[in-house]
Structure 1
C-alpha cells in the first residue's frame, strides 16, 4: 500500500492544486477527542453562491482521499458527474478501533459505536452547517471500513444513498442484513462492490458469495454494480474501482453517449425531446442537482431529428433552446428548421434572417443562417 501512494499522488496532485483543499480538526463529544478531516470543495465553490453539492464521505481518508478527490475533480471538469464536496476522515493507525464490532451481535461496539455516531450525527452535521450541501450523499470504504459503511444501511432512513465497497471484509451475518435492507428499500439506492483476481482469498470468497445474493434482489429502487478486476491486488484494485464506481453512480448525469444516440434517439418510437427532458428531470430528482441542458445534448437531439425526419420534434426543442440559451441562435435555428420542414418555407426564411444580431453558438453563426435563408429564397424564388 505504501508503494502505491506516491504513484496515486503523482497522478492526482496537479488536479487537487486546482480545487480547494481544506484541513480541519473536528472536536467530537461522541469520541471524546478531535479528528482530522480533509475537505475538497469544487473549483468555483465561492463564485456559485446559490449552488448546493452532493457529498462523498471517504473513510480511510489518509490514503483514499487524494485519489477520490482527484477523480471527482477530473470527472466533474468534463461534466460526466456533478461537482461534489469530498470529505476524507483520517484513520491512520486507528481504523481497527473505529470499525470495532461486537463478537455477539456483530454490530458496532465501544469505539466503533462512537465512531458510527460521530460520522452520522456530528461530522455530517458540521459539513451541512458550514458548506452548501445537498441531500445526495455517498460513503466509501476499504476492507474493514467498507464493512463499516454498511451499518448505515441498517437504519430505518439511511442518510446515504450511495455505498462504494472496495473489497469489503464483511462481519458475520452482514451480507444477510444488507440484502434484507436493500430488498425492502423504498428509496433509490446505489450499491457498488469490487474485488480482484489477486484479492485476499478469504475476502474474495465471501465477496463472490455476497455478490450472488445481491444479484438476486428484485427491487427497482436498487442500482447495483459488481466488478472483479484482473491483475490487481487487494490494494491496487482501489485505483480501478474508484473511477468506475463514481461514473456508475452518476451514469444518468453524463452527456448523451453514442450508445444513447444509436440505441435510443434513433428509434422512431422514441421522442428525442422527451428523452432529453426526462434525462435532466431525473438528474434533479435523483441527485438534487438542477442543471442547464448541455449544448452537446441539444445537438445530439437535433442530429437524431434530422436522421429520423421526425420534424414535429423541432417544436418542443426550439422552445427548450430559447429557455436554456437565450440570446443565441440555437432556438432560432431549430424554429426555422421546424417551419422549413413542416411546409412554411417563407416563414422559415424570415426566421433565419432574424438571427442577425444574435449570439453565434456552435456551428451556427450569421453567415450560416443567412446562407440558409438565401437557399430558400433561391429554391422558391422569393
Structure 2
C-alpha cells in the first residue's frame, strides 16, 4: 500500500512539475525555420524581482530535459544548488543535422555550424532578453551532442561556463584539441566528464584517455570532475551522472557542512567573518547570484569562534549579520553576546534590549533574548548583594 502511495505521489509531483513547463517555437534565421524549446522557470520566479538565475541549456531536450528538470528540482529543494532557468532544445529528427561535424576536427560543420550559431546568437540572447538570467550558463549533452557542446570552448570567451559531458562520443581530433584548449583558459570553466564500466567500449576508452590527460593539467582556470559509474549502460548512466555533475559544479553553493568546517574553517588563520565573506563572494563571482548567509551558517561560525575564544570574530560576525539584515535581531544578539563575554554587562544589556525591538529569527526569538536579559539582571543583583555584604563587614 505504501509503495503504491509513494509511486502515486511521485507521478503527481512529476505531472505538476512538467505542467509548469513553457513550450515555445523560436524562429531562427540561422536555421531558416523554427525550433521547439522547453523552458522551466523557478517556482518562485518573479519578473519584477532583482533576483537572477543561472541558465541550464539541455541539448537532446527530447529525452534529457525531464531528467535534468527532476534533478534540479530535487537539489534546489534541499538548497544544494541555486534555483535555475532550464531550457531544453527539442531536436528530434534534426539531431543528426544539428550535430553534424567535420570528420577531421570533430567541430560543427555545415548544418552543425548553423545549429551552433542558432544556440549562441539566437537562443541564448532570447533567454537573456526575456528572463532574469545571471551570467552563469551550463551546457548539458549526451553522446553525440556531448561532443558538440565542447565546440563552444574554442573561443576567447566561451558562452558557457560549465560543461556536463555525459558519455561524449568525441569525434575526429576533438579530444586532443580539447585537452590543449582546457590547459590555456582565460576564464574559469567547470568541466564534468562521465562514463561507466558498461559504456560503449570505444567511447569509454577515449573518455578514460581524455580524463587521464585532463587530470594532469596545471591551470587554476579549470575545475575538472570525472566519474566512472558502475553497472550503468550508455543510456542508464544519464541520471546518475546528472546528479553527480550538478552536485560537484555547485558544491561551493551548498551550506557549510561538517567537512568544510573541519578542513577549512577550523584551520582558517584570519577572522571567521573574513572566511564566510570570501566564500560568498566566490559564489557571486562564479554564479553571478547574490546568496544571503543563512542563520544556520552564522550560528556555525559563531560556535567555532566561541570554541577558539575568538572574540574579534564574534564581534565582526555580529556586525556582518547586522549589515546583511538590519531589521533582524541576529546581529545585535551576537554583539550582545560579545559584550557579555568581555564582562561588559551594561553594554550587553543595552544590546539585548535593542534586539527585543527587532525581528525574531528561527532560533533567536524574544523569549530567548528575555532569558539572556534576566540572567544578566540576576547577575547584577548578586553582585550588588555581595557589594552590600562587603560594606557591612
Name stretches of at least 5 consecutive residues in structure 2 with no aligned partner. Answer: 1-6, 385-393
Which whole-Å CA distance do the structure 2 matches of 1:13 and 1:163 have between them? 31
Which whole-Å CA distance do the structure 2 matches of 1:309 and 1:216 have between them? 42
- For the 8 Å contact 2:321–2:331, the answer to whether it is kept is yes
Partner of 1:17: 16
- For the 8 Å contact 1:15–1:73, the answer to whether it is kept is no
Which whole-Å CA distance do the structure 2 matches of 1:260 and 1:270 have between them? 16
Matches for 1:1-382 after TM superposition, within 5 Å: 14=13, 17-18=16-17, 20-46=20-46, 49-267=49-267, 269-380=269-380, 381=383
- For the 8 Å contact 1:102–1:108, the answer to whether it is kept is yes
Which whole-Å CA distance do the structure 1 matches of 2:12 and 2:238 have between them? 17
- For the 8 Å contact 1:12–1:67, the answer to whether it is kept is no
CA pair 9-227 structure 1, distance change in 2 beyond 3 A: farther
Which whole-Å CA distance do the structure 1 matches of 2:102 and 2:295 have between them? 54
Q: CA offsets, 1:325-355, max 9 Å, x none?
A: 3322211210011111123122113322333
Cα RMSD (Å) of the superposition? 2.0
Which whole-Å CA distance do the structure 2 matches of 1:353 and 1:127 have between them? 49
- 1:359, distance to aligned residue in structure 2 (A): 2.3
Which whole-Å CA distance do the structure 1 matches of 2:121 and 2:115 have between them? 10
Which whole-Å CA distance do the structure 2 matches of 1:92 and 1:366 have between them? 59
Partner of 1:4: none
Partner of 2:3: none
Which whole-Å CA distance do the structure 1 matches of 2:258 and 2:82 have between them? 20
Partner of 2:391: none
CA pair 363-105 structure 1, distance change in 2 beyond 3 A: closer
Which whole-Å CA distance do the structure 2 matches of 1:12 and 1:58 have between them? 22
Which whole-Å CA distance do the structure 1 matches of 2:145 and 2:12 have between them? 24
Which whole-Å CA distance do the structure 1 matches of 2:378 and 2:104 have between them? 86
CA pair 315-22 structure 1, distance change in 2 beyond 3 A: same
- 1:14, distance to aligned residue in structure 2 (A): 1.5
Which whole-Å CA distance do the structure 2 matches of 1:9 and 1:167 have between them? 32
SS at match of 2:83: coil
- For the 8 Å contact 1:62–1:89, the answer to whether it is kept is yes
SS at match of 1:165: strand
Instruction: Name segments (4+ residues, structure 1) moved above 4 Å.
Output: 8-13
Which whole-Å CA distance do the structure 1 matches of 2:176 and 2:65 have between them? 29
CA pair 107-366 structure 1, distance change in 2 beyond 3 A: closer
Which whole-Å CA distance do the structure 1 matches of 2:125 and 2:113 have between them? 17
Q: CA offsets, 1:218-257, max 9 Å, x none?
A: 1101100000111111111111111211121111111111
Name stretches of at least 5 consecutive residues in structure 1 with no aligned partner. Answer: 1-7
Which whole-Å CA distance do the structure 2 matches of 1:363 and 1:73 have between them? 27
CA pair 10-94 structure 1, distance change in 2 beyond 3 A: farther
SS at match of 1:94: helix
Which whole-Å CA distance do the structure 2 matches of 1:169 and 1:53 have between them? 30
Count residues in correspondence: 375
- For the 8 Å contact 1:9–1:67, the answer to whether it is kept is no
Q: CA offsets, 1:133-176, max 9 Å, x none?
A: 22111101001000000011112221111000000000121111
- 1:203, distance to aligned residue in structure 2 (A): 0.6
Partner of 1:5: none
- 1:18, distance to aligned residue in structure 2 (A): 4.7
Task: Between 107-116 and 184-193, report the one with greater CA deviation.
Answer: 107-116
- For the 8 Å contact 1:350–1:373, the answer to whether it is kept is no
- 1:32, distance to aligned residue in structure 2 (A): 1.6
Q: CA offsets, 1:172-211, max 9 Å, x none?
A: 2111111111111011100000001111111101100010
- 1:261, distance to aligned residue in structure 2 (A): 1.8
- For the 8 Å contact 2:165–2:193, the answer to whether it is kept is yes
CA pair 77-342 structure 1, distance change in 2 beyond 3 A: same
Q: CA offsets, 1:313-332, max 9 Å, x none?
A: 11111111112233222112
Larger Rg: 2
